[in-house]
Structure formats: C-alpha cells, structure tokens
Amino acid sequence: MGSFRQRLVAACAILAASFQACAADTPGPIDFPQMRPSVVDWHGPYGGVLLAVKSFQAQIAGLGGTPDNIDGSGRLAGIVAGYNLSHNNMVYGLEGDVGYGQIRALSGQGKLEADIMGTLRARLGYDFEGSLLFATAGATFAGVNKTSRLMVKGDTSTHIGWIVGGGLEHAFARSLTGRIEYLYGRNLQDKNTGIRDIHMIRAGVVYHLPD
C-alpha cells in the first residue's frame, strides 16, 4: 500500500512538473496591430471631375422691354481644383471649377443658352474621421447666349453673380474622395436679361495630392 501511494505521489509530481514546463514554453498573447481604414489628409492641393444637373429661372427682354420669365434646365461636366488648409478637425480653403455642356430656356419671346459655367469659392468644413461636411460661397460666371424676337441675331456675353451652398465629401482611400453638393446662384444677368436663379446638384470624384 505504501509503495502504491509513493508511486502515485511521484506520478503527480512528474505531471505537475510537465505542466509547468509547458506553460513556461507557451508564448504570450499575440498583439495584433490595430486595423483602421485609411483616412484622407485634407491638407494640400487637389483636383477632380464633376457632373452637374441644373435648373434655373431666366428672363428675356420681350416686346416693349417687358422681361419674359422662363424656366430652363441642363447638364454640365467639368473639372475642379483647389487647396485646403486644416487645423484640428477644421478644413478651409479655396476652390474653383469650370464646366461645359448646355443649359437652355425657351419661350415665345426667345431663348437663352449657356454652355460654359464656372465658380470660384471659399470652403469651410468639419472633418468627421474621413467625412467632410462643408459650406461654400463665392462668385460664379456663365457664358450666356440670348436671342429674342427683338434681336436680328443672338447676343453672347459673360454674366457674373454670386453662389452659395454646401455638401458632403467622403474619403474612400487616403487620397481619393467622392462628394455630393448643392449650390444656389443668383444675379447672373445683364440688365433685365439673363439667369436670375439657378439651382444645381453636383457629384464628383477628387484626388488629393501630397503637399
């Protein structure tokens, strides 16, 4: 009996020593690096492409000089470029764009067309970890061709007005963002002829260059 107990105690001691040796050789928990999506660096220059859908109200001088109010619409495609500065989560800078296409308004008194339109604006936004909510304001211009019953031929001129709006820009990669924005412009007119109110929804893709 005593011999059996001695063997059992010896076996338990050997087993305990084996567990301690295995525990000593087992590596500790693996520290995996934190996986986070890439976040864009807003600071610096950028450029991209834009597509815009526009609707507007316009005026064309009618008989006796009385303006004829008409509605129009159209689409433009263009390029955009700008430069951002940043401080903490605030992003601010200057942006310009120019688009080409056609927006047109027709009435019994004549027609109004614009095939080139651009803006130069200041932007101010707040970065929500890769999504930039921004407001913008500045000047806009359009190359307008207008023809009325009082004209022998069309008259082309550049009209300048102001524009405001806002939108959301989201980072899909460290240097690539997509955006959607709404802009409202006014007073793109010469006397009583031209674009009075313009509404546009624009979507685009922007590439951010290293500063």
Q: Could you state, in chain order, the average pLDDT of each consecutive group of 10 residues for the chain (211 residues)? A: 55 55 50 50 94 81 63 90 94 96 77 86 94 96 76 71 95 93 83 77 94 73
Contact between residue 92 and residue 83 where contact means Cβ atoms under 8 Å apart: no
CA distance 112 to 57: 10
Domain boundaries defined on the chain: 44-208
C-alpha 34/C-alpha 168 separation (Å) is 28
Q: What is the dihedral of CA 91, 97, 99, 103, to 10 degrees?
A: 70
Burial 65-79 (b: 16+ CB within 10 A, else e): eebbebebebebebe
Q: Does the predicted TM-score (pTM) go above 0.85?
A: no
For the chain, the distance separating the N- and C-terminal CA atoms, rounded to the nearest angstrom, is 85
| Per-residue confidence (pLDDT) for residue 73, from 0 to 100 | 86
Tokens of 114: 């614009």
Cα Rg for the chain, rounded, in angstroms? 33
Q: What integer pLDDT is reported at residue 31 of this predicted model?
A: 47
Output the pLDDT for position 17: 60
User: What topology is assigned to 44-208 in CATH?
Assistant: Porin (2.40.160)
Phi/psi of residue 37, nearest 5 degrees = -65, 150
Residues 6+ apart with CB under 8 A from 44: 83, 84, 208, 209, 210, 211
Backbone angles phi, psi at 182, to 5 degrees: -120, 135
Q: Are 124 and 135 in contact (CB under 8 A)?
A: yes
- pLDDT for 61 equals 63
